Amino acid sequence: MEMSRVGKRGTMVIPARLRHRFGLTEGSLVIVEAREEGILIRPAVVMPLERYTPERQAEFLLSNAVDEEDYARVREEVRKLGLDPDAIPHQKPAEE
């Protein structure tokens, strides 16, 4: 257990030993959570969010078709996206 002091505007210094232990550096994001027994401060995990273009969605759909019937259905879905399935680079399912 370590002690710290709250400064102006609510700033607080996290002791160096704890910053190193939890990988906190200047600019690190933390989660501050109210608990019955006090305040919990913990490192935040930030995952980048990838937004897929309609073309990328179509590529996923086409490349993941499991058989010819599924592939035909997916081609229609891609057309509903306003795209030409033949213009999308993808792998066709293996023929049985």
Euclidean distance between CA atoms 51 and 23, whole angstroms: 28
The confidence score (pLDDT) of residue 39 equals 94
Domain-located, residue 93: yes
The confidence score (pLDDT) of residue 96 equals 62
Total structural domains within the chain = 2
68-82 residues labelled b (16+ CB within 10 A) or e (exposed): eeebeebbeebeeee
Q: Give the domain extent around 28.
A: 10-43
Residue % of the chain over a pLDDT of 90: 83
pLDDT score of 4 more than 80: yes
Q: Please give the residue that has the higher pLDDT: either 96 or 40.
A: 40
Work out the mean pLDDT of the chain and round it to a whole number.
93
Q: Are residues 36 and 56 in the same domain?
A: no
Mean pLDDT of 81-88: 96
Q: Are residues 72 and 35 in the same domain?
A: no
Q: Are residues 96 and 54 in the same domain?
A: yes
User: From its phi and psi, is residue 23 left (phi > 0), alpha (psi between -120 and 50) or beta?
Assistant: left
Domain-located, residue 62: yes
- pLDDT, one tens digit per residue, over 59-74 is 999 999 999 999 999 9
Mean pLDDT of 34-57: 92
Euclidean distance between CA atoms 20 and 42, whole angstroms: 13
In order, the DSSP letters of 15-82 are PHHHHHHTT--TT--EEEEEETTEEEEEE----PPPPPPHHHHHHHHHHT--SHHHHHHHHHHHHHTT
